[in-house]
Amino acid sequence: MDLVPALEEPLKKVLGPATAKVMAEHLGLHTVGDLLHHYPRRYEERGQLTHLADLPMDEHVTVVAQVADARLHTFASAKAPRGKGQRLEVTITDGSGRLQLVFFGAGVHKPHKELLPGTRAMFAGKVSVFNRRVQLAHPAYELLRGDAEETVETWAGALIPIYPATAKLESWKIGKALQTVLPSAQEAVDPLPESLRAGRGLVGLPEALLKIHRPHTKADVEDARARLKWDEAFVLQVALARRRHADAQLPAVARRPKPDGLLTAFDDRLPFTLTEGQRKVSAEIFTDLATEHPMHRLLQGEVGSGKTMVALRAMLAVVDAGGQAAMLAPTEVLAQQHHRSVTEMMGELAEGGMLGGAETATKVVLLTGSMGAAARRHALLDLATGEAGLVIGTHALIEDKVKFHDLGLVVVDEQHRFGVEQRDALRGKGKQPPHLLVMTATPIPRTVAMTVFGDLETSVLDQLPAGRSPIASHVVPAADKPHFLARAWERVREEVEGGHQAYVVCPRIGDEEDDPKKAGRKKSPEDEAERRPPLAVLDIAEQLAAGPLRGLRVEVLHGRMQPDDKDAVMRRFAAGEVDVLVATTVIEVGVNVPNATAMVIMDADRFGVSQLHQLRGRVGRGSAPGLCLLVTEMPEASAARQRLTAVASTLDGFELSRIDLEQRREGDVLGQAQSGTRSSLRMLAVIDDEEIIAEAREEAAGIVAADPELTGLPGLRTALEALLDEEREQYLEKG
């Protein structure tokens, strides 16, 4: 293996133990190579030289001037009550005017020694006013000695890299450390095959690293970025292409439905015809199921586009072929609901082994954590003997006790609720790897990232079944316009008087005990205003029943209720015995009550874009139009309010997922983090760089097909090893 010794060098050898420790703990940087790949977030321009006589306010300037005098003052402050606070005031002049520089605290020592009267230097900082005097606080400076003219021009015109930093390590210290390791960039082994690099006119890796950290011009930065984006896209695509290649080698049992079996019988009894989209996606899935390596397919569909129907037909096809199929749902409410709707749709086809069951029938069992011991034992036995062809359940399906006779297909509903570990545990229950179908109604950022990165084969359902109604969505600014909120409750009453029902969704239940640790913390008034506790189901239900919705039948539903109570409330609501259901997000996915036409989401700014889209999909499921009101107290200019406006303006889940992704970043595309925090992408932005990603995918597929082990590309292998530490390697393995 060609290791790159210079880049493998631990930072503590090069920078000393103290700096290396901070870099490791706070920035996750351990080697010279890690530091070279810690790219600047942006670049400051010191600004062209400015005369002191015409300094622009609030701008970054660079001035060349002479120190006229320097005085050290001591003062008392909250931090230094005994008069031990120190402030250094330095007056500089360039002949056109005078300017005061101020340094505080520990920052006074170095300038106090260096900025002596008569010293010439360059000063760069932001112009501000204090006590009606113009000043620069804590400016950067460089002393000028000897032939200064040339230095002045280059220093003032240079681009200063600003690095992602921490309180323990400022950007300029990171810049200094990079200055030390930059010569090692010459030894960086290039992961891109020479033909690809030349063909796309990209600079070499050593040159790109020099240009990103020490650019002379903006064109240098562009060159470097173009090159480093390609590295990220390409190495990642090779990782995914190798995984697809390895998956294609795995054995799986081909599952082909019998000509006149369960699937045919089910299709014959459907009271409606499938949409064109459902037929097309089903055909793609059946083709995958008929192959002898595991299907890995992502089914993305709008809320209410009939994904469950497509998944059920795939499950029936597998049962037809002698296997079993499992559907994993994120909540008990949803698992029960799926079980109920599947058995209703199947009728006597779900009564396998029972009197009155059709001859092709199978058994459909439910498995959740709160089932009684006897019912649970029964379900487990049906799975182990193969009596039950279909099982629908929650995380309870993953437990060790659960054994299948012959698991052929795993359907995961609402993929973003399940970790990879859980999907993997269920897939491990097949004698050979089962086929996998992942469903999601809102492509959330990581899924979009994965889709753009093309790791799962993707099917899209984008047409709604006939009879679905449009949903009108509006933002209700409760703080700016309280009368809008009053009107919202009138609208709910009108819907109920018209024979319909409504949901009111709140972010919190309301019976939580306050955390004493949090209660003790001091908060600023702004903080108090912005972060009052989210509105709670129990409080709002009480206020509505006693106030604007007096006389209507109002009930509550939340996750801490007993499973039987939850089920009873849902049944009453579905039967029309409840007018308004005040709930938490337990109703977010899969709940289907066609008569519910209105939804009011309280504190809507506390929910994510995909969650709001999911919630809204619970109304407009029948022939009457739906109405969704997003209530918020956030001011008009805030990002939260813009997010809500975006949700109100489109019903297109794919469009919303792009907005979500642009706002939240893609998360670590290969790792556990769902979004925002730790992105393995330093240069690449999934939405902006879709073209690069698509091109890199093609290049990667060609290279992996020709040389799966990458024997001819040692640089690429090294880069892959760096990208795929062990945790991520396993993560990829698990899919």
Task: State pLDDT tens for residues 346-358.
Answer: 988 888 766 566 7
Give me the pLDDT at residue 525, please: 37
Mean pLDDT to the nearest integer, 489-493:
95
Q: Return the number of other C-beta atoms located less than 10 Å from residue 28's C-beta.
A: 10
Lowest-confidence range among 4-18, 311-325, 619-633, 694-708? 4-18
pLDDT of residue 524: 39
Q: Left if phi > 0, otherwise alpha if psi is -120 to 50, otherwise beta: which for 28?
A: left
The dihedrals phi and psi of 324, each to the nearest 5 degrees, come to: -120, 155
Instruction: Answer whether residue 727 shows pLDDT above 70.
Output: no
First-last CA distance in the chain: 27
- pLDDT score of 734 more than 70: no
> What number is the average pLDDT over the span 660-680?
52
pLDDT in tens, 188-222: 888 899 989 999 999 999 999 999 999 988 899 99
54 or 648: which leads in pLDDT: 648
Residue by residue, DSSP assigns 676-729 as: SS--S-SS--TTTTHHHHHHHHHHHHHHHHH-TT-TT-HHHHHHHHHH--HHHH
Which amino acid does the sequence have at 375? A
**What are the distances in angstroms from CA 570 to CA 327, 355, 545, 579, 654?**
21, 29, 19, 12, 30
Per-residue pLDDT, 555: 93
Would the pLDDT of 593 be above 60?
yes
In three-state form (DSSP H/G/I as H, E/B as E, the rest C), the secondary structure along 192-230 is CCHHHHHHCCCCCHHHHHHHHHCCCCHHHHHHHHHHHHH
What is the maximum alpha-carbon separation in the chain?
105
186-212 as b/e: b if 16+ CB within 10 A = eebbbbbbeebbeeeebbebbbbbbbb
Rounded mean pLDDT, 14-22: 88
Q: Using 50, 70 and 90 to split pLDDT, how confident is the model at 467?
A: low
- Lowest mean pLDDT of 120-134, 188-202, 411-425, name the range: 411-425
Evaluate if residue 497 carries a pLDDT over 90: yes
The model's pLDDT over 78-112, given as tens digits with 9 standing for 90+, comes to: 666 666 788 899 999 988 888 999 998 888 888 99
Q: Per-residue confidence at 457, pLDDT binned at 50, 70, 90? A: confident
Task: Give the C-alpha distances (Å, rounded to integers) separating 420 from 182, 407, 732.
Answer: 38, 18, 9
3: Cβ contacts below 8 Å, ≥ 6 apart = 718
pLDDT at 529 over 60: no
* Amino acid 307: pLDDT: 87
Please name the amino acid found at residue 274: L
Higher pLDDT, 589 or 656: 656
Q: What is the pLDDT of residue 411?
A: 92
As a whole number, mean pLDDT of residues 109-135 equals 86
pLDDT attached to residue 70: 92
Categorize the per-residue pLDDT at 657 as very low, low, confident or very high, splitting at 50, 70 and 90: confident
- Contact, 75 vs 122, CB < 8 A? no
With a cut of 90, say whether residue 396 has pLDDT above it. no
Torsion 492-494-497-500 (CA) sign? negative
Q: Mean pLDDT across the stretch 413-418?
A: 63
Asked if pLDDT for residue 673 goes beyond 50, the answer is no
Q: Which helix (H) or strand (E) holds 648?
A: helix 639-649
- Give 23 or 78, the one with higher predicted confidence: 23
What's the number of CA atoms in the CB half-sphere (13 Å) around residue 79?
6
Average pLDDT estimate for 50-65: 77
735 falls in which pLDDT band (50, 70, 90)? very low
Q: What is the pLDDT of residue 600?
A: 96
Give residue 256's pLDDT: 92
* pLDDT recorded at residue 445: 56
Question: How confident is the model at residue 356, as a pLDDT?
Answer: 60
705 has a pLDDT exceeding 50: yes
User: Confidence class of residue 454 from pLDDT cuts 50, 70 and 90?
Assistant: low
Per-residue confidence at 526, pLDDT binned at 50, 70, 90? very low
More confident residue, 621 or 531: 621
CB-count burial class (<10 Å; 0-12, 13-18, 19+) for 609: buried
Rounded CA gap, 605 and 650, in Å?
A: 17
Nearby residues of 429 by Cβ (< 8 Å), 6 or more positions away: 326, 402, 403, 404, 407
- Residue 577 is predicted with a pLDDT of 94
More confident residue, 101 or 682: 101
pLDDT of residue 517: 47
Q: Please list, in sequence order, all residues whose beta carbon lies within 8 angstroms of the beta carbon of residue 72, skipping any fewer than 6 positions away.
A: 86, 87, 88, 108, 112
pLDDT at 515: 47
Spatial CB neighbours of 59, under 8 Å, sequence gap ≥ 6: 47, 126, 127
Backbone angles phi, psi at 268, to 5 degrees: -65, -30
- Give the mean model confidence (pLDDT) for residues 2-15: 74
CA–CA dist 454, 233 (Å, integer): 12
Please give the pLDDT value at position 518: 47
Among 62-66, 106-110, 158-162, 727-731, whose mean pLDDT is lowest?
727-731
Lowest mean per-residue pLDDT among 144-153, 233-242, 250-259, 305-314: 144-153
| Residue indicated by tokens 């994510």 | 608
Q: 336 falls in which pLDDT band (50, 70, 90)?
A: confident
What pLDDT, on a 0 to 100 scale, did the predictor assign at position 451? Answer: 57
Asked if residue 676 has pLDDT above 50, the reply is no
Q: In what order do the strands lie in the sheet with 324-328?
A: 363-367, 388-393, 324-328, 407-413, 435-440, 296-301, 457-461
What is the reported pLDDT for 79? 66
**Residue 75 pLDDT level (bands cut at 50, 70, 90):** confident
Given a cut of 70, whether residue 167 has pLDDT beyond it is no
Mean pLDDT of the chain: 82
